[in-house]
Amino acid sequence: QWDPNFSTGRHSMVHLFEWKWVDIALECERFLGPNGFGGVQVSPPNENAIITSPFRPWWERYQPVSYHLVTRSGNESEFTDMVRRCNAAGVRIYVDAIINHMTGNSVQGAGTDGSSFDASAKSYPAVPYGPTDFNDATTCPTQSGSIEDYQDPIQVRNCQLSGLLDLNQGKDYVRQKLADYLNKLIGLGVAGFRIDASKHMWPADMKAILDKLDNLSVQHGFTANARPFVVQEVIDLGNEAITGSEYFGNGRVTEFRYGMNLGEVFRKVNNQKLSFIKNYGEGWGMYAGNTSLAFIDNHDNQRGHGAGGANILTFRVAKLYKMAQAFMLAWPYALTRVMSSYYWDQNMEGGSDKNDWIGPPNQDGNTLPVTIFPNGTCGNGWMCEHRWRQISNMVKFRNVVEGTTMTNWWDNTENQIAFSRGNKGFLAINNEDRALSATIATGLPAGQYCDVISGNKEGSSCTGKTITVSADGSVNLSISNTEEDPMVAIHADAKL
């Protein structure tokens, strides 16, 4: 279903990529809960192959060995404790569910819970799956067994994605094993799933699996008969045979054009300008907002995997990144997901990053904890974009303006924009090479407001800029292009 089952007043999720369960539990209690985040997408919790060449890449998590809940993020009791504590803090947990495939087709050995497997024999005894549970030459039409042509939906669904052993979800046995795994997670209190590689499964097979799922657990605070949230990862840039809309019946679909196009707009490439995003979303040919998930970057395209290309914005271009996040969180389109990354050294050769495999901060393969400095930023290599004041304050902004429409659009025909959300919030962005200086309608009641980009409201004062809305609802704005963050955001809860 499309509803994320957030607790009241919360409207965004964050992907805590590769975090350990013990750290996520702490983060729910000390930061996400108090700051109005609705949920966390967590890395795959099921047992995966241990890859040593390259050494423990992030992508080993995308090679399942079994559905035992043991990975470098933690074990089953840690996972269970995390879900319980996050729910108690008002924060939901969404599991990245890898149900399209198992490991790469030539690996063997033991997984992260010690379960043995042998891909060349199509054998995963800890599930168990055997040779007849996978697609093969009778169902996949290519000689190589891999997807060769994305314009052929049969290849995309029945052949191997990058050599990953492709489960046959047409079989009831396979459907049941997958549903059992997801139901176990529902029993532990998760609120839904990001379904990996959905494009590579038939929508009807997916539906058959989802139909087997239990209602969410009332014990963990969900309303009676609530259904698990579903967001299907389908990369659809509009140029292939398979479209995301085929999957709307099952749940939301990732809208990859959102971050890709916005990257071009903020970088001012391909003749794009901020003034063009007045009708961003459906007006730009994207999915209906109530069926899609919007994000600026994800764990794939921040390192050149997946789709989106070189214009994707990430923490590496922090100034533009914060502006794009602010726009997304202020704009009334789709369900929004914020990325939270770890740092790695890039090694660019011929346009691609030779270090795109590097796993989370670790010592000998053991993931390092997320440490928190007194100023609220993170250590040990964790970027924690979601803790950047400009981003977390806009997560709050989105909660405050929920239910209002976009009004008072203003632009300078180039790269300066402003708009209101009803009488609840107002955002102005200057992405020009010169100052913004104008009197603009905000729709807000007259008074003094704390700009939540440059500071926080603390008691009745503001640690950043104070913005005055005059009796007629307008502001006299001047935003220099050389400011650290050339934008201003005010909302009803930041009135002084």
> Interface with ligand AAO by CB under 6 A: which residues?
59, 62-63, 98, 104, 150, 161-164, 196-197, 199, 233, 235, 237, 239-240, 300, 305-307, 309
Q: How far is the CB of 428 from ligand AAO (least distance, A)?
A: 32
**What tokens were used for 244?**
């995301």
Angle 253-336-2 (CA atoms, 0-180°, nearest 5)?
Answer: 45
Between CA 442 and CA 459 the distance in angstroms is 23
Dihedral (C-alpha) 138, 144, 147, 150: value to the nearest 10 degrees? -100
366 membership: H or E segment, kind and range? strand 366-367
Q: Where do the DSSP E strands lie in 7-110?
A: 12-16, 39-42, 92-97, 101-104, 108-110
- Burial of residue 146 (number of CB atoms within 10 Å: 0-12, 13-18, 19+): middle
Between CA 425 and CA 419 the distance in angstroms is 9
Task: Rank residues 50 and 307 by Cβ distance to ligand AAO and give the closer one.
Answer: 307
Residue whose C-beta lies closest to ligand AAO: 104
Task: Rank residues 305 and 465 by Cβ distance to ligand AAO and give the closer one.
Answer: 305
Task: Rank residues 96 and 133 by Cβ distance to ligand AAO and give the closer one.
Answer: 96
Residue 351: Cβ within 10 Å count: 8
User: Which residues are known catalytic residues?
Assistant: 196, 233
Buried b (16+ CB within 10 A) or exposed e, 355-377: ebbbbbbbeeeebbebebeeeee
Going from the C-alpha of 216 to that of each of 14, 221, 227, 458, 481, the distances in angstroms are: 20, 9, 6, 38, 48
Task: Rank residues 50 and 318 by Cβ distance to ligand AAO and give the closer one.
Answer: 50
- Burial of residue 76 (number of CB atoms within 10 Å: 0-12, 13-18, 19+): middle
Task: Rank residues 11 and 257 by Cβ distance to ligand AAO and give the closer one.
Answer: 257
Task: Rank residues 249 and 309 by Cβ distance to ligand AAO and give the closer one.
Answer: 309
Asked if omega into 128 is within 30° of 0 (cis), the reply is yes
Angle 282-424-329 (CA atoms, 0-180°, nearest 5)?
Answer: 45
Nearest to 73 by CA among 101, 105, 45: 45
Q: How far is the CB of 226 from ligand AAO (least distance, A)?
A: 26
Q: How far is the CB of 13 from ligand AAO (least distance, A)?
A: 16
Task: Rank residues 82 and 164 by Cβ distance to ligand AAO and give the closer one.
Answer: 164
Q: How far is the CB of 197 from ligand AAO (least distance, A)?
A: 4
Q: How far is the CB of 149 from ligand AAO (least distance, A)?
A: 11
Q: How far is the CB of 200 from ligand AAO (least distance, A)?
A: 6
| CA dihedral (435, 438, 444, 445) positive or negative | positive
Between CA 16 and CA 26 the distance in angstroms is 12
Q: How far is the CB of 101 from ligand AAO (least distance, A)?
A: 7
Task: Rank residues 28 and 156 by Cβ distance to ligand AAO and give the closer one.
Answer: 156
Pairing of strands 425-430, 416-421: antiparallel
Between CA 143 and CA 242 the distance in angstroms is 22
Q: How far is the CB of 49 from ligand AAO (least distance, A)?
A: 8
